[in-house]
Amino acid sequence: MPANEKRNLAILFFSQGVLGAQIPVNFILGGLAGALLAENRAFATLPISIIVLVAMFVAPGASMLMGRFGRRAGFLLGAASGAAGGVLAVLALFEGRFDLLLLGAAFTGVFQAFQQFFRFAAADAASEEFKPKAISLVLGAGLINAILAGEVVRLLGDALNPVPYAGAYAGVIGLNFIGACIVMFLRIPRPPRQAESGGLARPLGVIFRQPRVIAAVLCAMVSYAVMNLVMTSTPLSLVGYGFTTNQAADVVRWHVVAMFAPSFVTGHIIARVGHLPVIGTGLLLLGVCSAIALTGVDLHHFYFALVALGVGWNFGFVGATSLLATAHSPEEQAKVQGLNDFLVFGLVAFASFGSGALLNAFGWSAVQLAVVPSVLVALATIAWYRLVLLQQRTADTPA
């Protein structure tokens, strides 16, 4: 790999590791802070839902902005939004205002919309044959996320006593500052536009009718939404069953480790066995998570279920992202990636809203049962796409 590619991937890895830590911090504390400030506990997970809802609507614009001004400008804007979200969350906890917490979550959602494009920036920074490995390597920075997020919650959660959680949100401000300093060194060329390159960019309708794109986008949507559905309600469920906030943070930390630790080998596995077996394995593991969670509510059930959820997300989402990267040209990437993330975060937002409502109305088991239909639909889509590929190979084989 050329030196400039190695340099950019290293910068993406470490900046993603620092900046991305604020997402698990918000997922650990969002529901708990919401329960502290909301008058109705049914709205406790609303801060998390607001994050993904705003990310859904901002993602297309974020992609187009980076297509025009470059990845570095977009990531710096995202870091500024994340810092603003941390400031507003601290103020909300000190003043006891749920509306300020939601406004802070909205700014964090803007951050997440930009942050999700780190995986596509990794593909931009790598040669064609190395793209799956580059994507999985940069996502592997989630291991740093897991370590930092757990330590931020553990060490800073009560640092501003008597106001709970405010110290951890103050730590989020520092994460954004440090991550932005690393991003400043990123140098990825802006992707060519159609007019500049002379290429022919296809309409979105044509691109998104391809079986490969349908399978990639739908499996990314399901993998991320199922993960969010279960993880959003996990801290509240643990505390509800009598476990401590630190125990809840530790379960989520190991979940985040399971999300990103496989990334160091996922790209190699995709290169060896292909996208579809990896995605299918990920979807099956999402089902295993629910099966484990339905067997009991002891602490080890939460650990095992959330680890299966994390590995399942990794295989499903990395595999789907890598598959999508093979389905468009550089001229098409901004609009394709923007619409992809709009659809992904749209289903994630729906899952996040549904998670709190299901947990409050019907309990932890209902959250797990809600996983089954979407996983079955995604598995059916993979089977359909595999059949399409077999038919294409048959048609191309001489009689």
Please check the confidence at residue 199 and state whether its pLDDT lies above 80: no
pLDDT value, residue 192: 60
Number of Cβ atoms within 10 Å of the Cβ of 161: 9
Phi-psi label, residue 244: left if phi above 0, alpha if psi -120 to 50, beta otherwise? beta
pLDDT (tens digit per residue) in 103-149 = 999 999 999 999 988 988 887 877 767 777 788 788 888 888 878 88
Q: Could you tell me if 48 and 352 are in contact, meaning their C-beta atoms sit under 8 angstroms apart? A: yes
Higher pLDDT, 341 or 126: 341
Please check the confidence at residue 197 and state whether its pLDDT lies above 50: no
pLDDT (tens digit per residue) in 354-388 = 887 888 889 999 999 999 999 999 999 999 999 99
DSSP 130: G
pLDDT (tens digit per residue) in 45-59 = 788 889 988 988 998
Residue 271 pLDDT level (bands cut at 50, 70, 90): confident
Percent of residues, the chain, with pLDDT higher than 70: 95
Percent of residues, the chain, with pLDDT higher than 90: 47
Query: 300-304, 322-326, 378-382: lowest mean pLDDT where?
Result: 322-326
pLDDT (tens digit per residue) in 142-177 = 888 878 888 888 888 888 888 899 999 999 999 999
Closest CA relative to residue 290, chosen from 376, 380, 391, 184: 376
Q: DSSP letters along 179-223, please?
A: HHHHHTT---PPPPPHHHH---PPPHHHHTTSHHHHHHHHHHHHH
d(CA 147, CA 142): 9
Residue 195 pLDDT level (bands cut at 50, 70, 90): very low
Domains, the chain: 3-189+201-396 (1.20.1250.20)
Quote the distance between the C-alpha of residue 244 and its chain's center. 26
pLDDT value, residue 368: 94
pLDDT value, residue 232: 82
**Helix locations, 274-331, DSSP H:** 275-293, 299-325
d(CA 233, CA 97): 22
Helix/strand/coil for 23 = helix
What's the mean pLDDT when you consider all of the chain? 88
Residue 1 pLDDT level (bands cut at 50, 70, 90): low
Closest CA relative to residue 245, chosen from 254, 258, 235: 235
Closest CA relative to residue 13, chosen from 228, 260, 255: 260
